[in-house]
Amino acid sequence: MKKISMILFTMLIFFGFVATSPAAEKLMLYTSMKESLIGKIRDVFVKKNPDIAFDYYSAGAGKLMAKIAAERQSGKLTVDILWHSEVPDFYKLKQEGMLEKYVSPESENVRSPVKDPEGYFTPARLGTLAIAYNKKKIASPPKNWNDLLDARFTNGFGIANPALSGTSFVSVAMIVNTFGWEYFEKMAKNGAIMGQGSGQVVDDTASGDLLATLAPDYIAIDKIEKGANLGIVFPEEMLVIPSPIGIMKGTPNLKAAERFIDFLLSKEGQTLIAAEGTLPIRDDVAIPPEILAMGMVTTGQAVQRAMKLDYIKTMDEKEAIIKKFSAIIRAAK
């Protein structure tokens, strides 16, 4: 027993050292982008910037904000840069003075529905949400939003939990803004299901547990490329959500953070984004033809067909919208 405790003790000390060992400039990104997207970006960025110890924490926007709130309370921020799709959060952070101002030299090439004119954050990707459906179970794909209220989607349409997923929350807000709450009431009557994260509903659709779902573009495309039984469609009124990136105020790694943003907005960074199946925010980056063949639209079309949303107004309504949505979906059960 003594031997074990000695080994253990040595091990603990050893880890204490490893944890504090000095590295190059550190950079911690909190992002809602999944591994399939951020992993590729990390690989290329690390290769080009070997002096930066880059790491990221990938989770839904709700979790990221909860983590940051807890870190703020503890007085020690781990996060250096934040990149997710819940646009209102960025306005709120800016309002609270939590963001560092940075205008990247690349930002003049950025084309986006939202843009912070003062440079506290900038969109780095244009996310779209498709309706993903299981090809085995749904013979004729839905064409518009009303098709989802059909009997063939009864008890089979899923939406990710807006408390966990930023894209899901903004989607709900956009649909309410465009079609009103009645749309979700009808959907709830048709047995719509609130799932967990934005990725899980896609996997549940691929397995056939759900018949169709709102799916972030690159997640669905990644799975289609791996052979999943999924198809995607974009109705005329599109869910187009910019994913802003911003630097946390007071970060000790400001220079590294700025270099990451420059890289992400550059043509090279945006080409990586387009290759993974989501929309670049630059006009000079083309979408690969094989992804267009799956049903993807171009950045120009997406911006044109996008549903409107007043992000600043939505900022204060977040909790109310999530509560009302959950209540409507659950009331029908």
Partner 1 sequence: MLKRFFGKIGIAEVLLFISVLILIVVVAVPVLLILWTALFVDGSLNTKDIIHILSQPGTYEALKNSLVIAGGVTVLSTIIGVFFAWLVSRTDLPFKETMKVLFLVPFMLPSFIGALAWKMLLSPRSGYINKFLVDIFSLDASPFNIYGLGGIIAVETMYLFPFVFIQVAGALERMDPTLEESARISGAGLLTITRRITLPLMLPGIAAGALLVALYSLAHFGVPAILGTESGIYNIPTKIYEQIYQSGGSFVAIRTGTILSSILIVAAGLILYAQNLVLRAGRFQVIAGKSMRPTLLKLRGLKIPILIFSLLYIFITVILPTATIFLVGTLKTYGIAFTWENMSLQNLKYILFDWRMTRDAIWNSFYLSLAAAMITMVVGVLISYTIVKMKVRGKFILEFLGVLPFSVPGTVIALGVILTWSGKFGINLYNTAWIIFVAYIARYMAFSLKSNSAALEQVDDSLEEAARACGATHWQSLRDIVIPLIKPGMVAAFFLIFLPALRELTTSVLLYGPTTRTIGVAIYALNEDGETVYAATLASVALVIIIVGQLVIKRITRTTVQGV
Please, are residues 238 and 306 in contact by the beta-carbon 8 Å criterion?
Answer: yes
Q: Using the rule CB under 8 A, is 167 a contact of partner 1?
A: no
Residue 266: which of 4, 84, 11, 48 has the closest Cα? 48
Q: Using the rule CB under 8 A, is 200 a contact of partner 1?
A: yes
Task: Return d(Cα 299, Cα 187) in angstroms, integer.
Answer: 29
CA 9, distance to chain mean position in Å, is 41
Q: How far is the CB of 54 from partner 1 (least distance, A)?
A: 11
Q: How far is the CB of 267 from partner 1 (least distance, A)?
A: 27
Sites for partner 1 among residues 238-267 (CB under 8 A): none
- Binds partner 1 by CB under 8 A, chosen from 228, 241, 273, 285: 228
Please, are residues 242 and 113 in contact by the beta-carbon 8 Å criterion?
Answer: yes
Sites for partner 1 among residues 79-118 (CB under 8 A): 79, 89
3-state secondary structure of 274: helix
Q: How far is the CB of 196 from partner 1 (least distance, A)?
A: 5
Q: How far is the CB of 103 from partner 1 (least distance, A)?
A: 27
Q: Which is nearer to partner 1, 143 or 226 (CB)?
A: 226
Task: Return d(Cα 142, Cα 323) in angstroms, integer.
Answer: 28
Q: Which is nearer to partner 1, 247 or 303 (CB)?
A: 247
Task: Return d(Cα 301, Cα 235) in angstroms, integer.
Answer: 12
Number of other residues whose CB lies within 10 A of the CB of residue 83? 26
Q: Using the rule CB under 8 A, is 223 a contact of partner 1?
A: yes
Residues in the chain: 333
User: Per-residue x/- marks for partner 1, 119-138, CB under 8 A?
Assistant: ---------------x--x-
Cα separations in angstroms, 204 against 76, 199, 332: 37, 9, 21
Q: Using the rule CB under 8 A, is 302 a contact of partner 1?
A: no
- 292 torsion bin: left (phi>0), alpha (psi -120 to 50), beta (else): alpha
Q: How far is the CB of 224 from partner 1 (least distance, A)?
A: 9
Question: Of the listed pieces 159-167, 255-263, 291-299, 308-316, which binds partner 1 according to CB under 8 A?
Answer: 159-167
Q: Using the rule CB under 8 A, is 156 a contact of partner 1?
A: yes
Q: How far is the CB of 271 from partner 1 (least distance, A)?
A: 22
Residue 29: which of 241, 243, 309, 231 has the closest Cα? 243
Please, are residues 255 and 232 in contact by the beta-carbon 8 Å criterion?
Answer: no
Q: Which is nearer to partner 1, 177 or 196 (CB)?
A: 196
Strand pairing class (157-159; 193-194): parallel
3-state secondary structure of 119: coil
Q: Which is nearer to partner 1, 110 or 228 (CB)?
A: 228
Q: Which is nearer to partner 1, 127 or 199 (CB)?
A: 199
Sites for partner 1 among residues 45-74 (CB under 8 A): 55-60, 62-63, 65-71, 73-74
| Burial label, 48 (beta-carbon count in 10 A; 0-12, 13-18, 19+) | exposed
Point out which residues bind partner 1 (CB under 8 A): 1, 4-5, 8, 11-12, 15, 19, 28, 30, 34-35, 39, 55-60, 62-63, 65-71, 73-76, 78-79, 89, 134, 137, 156, 161, 163-164, 193-204, 206-211, 219, 223, 226-229, 319, 322, 329-330, 333
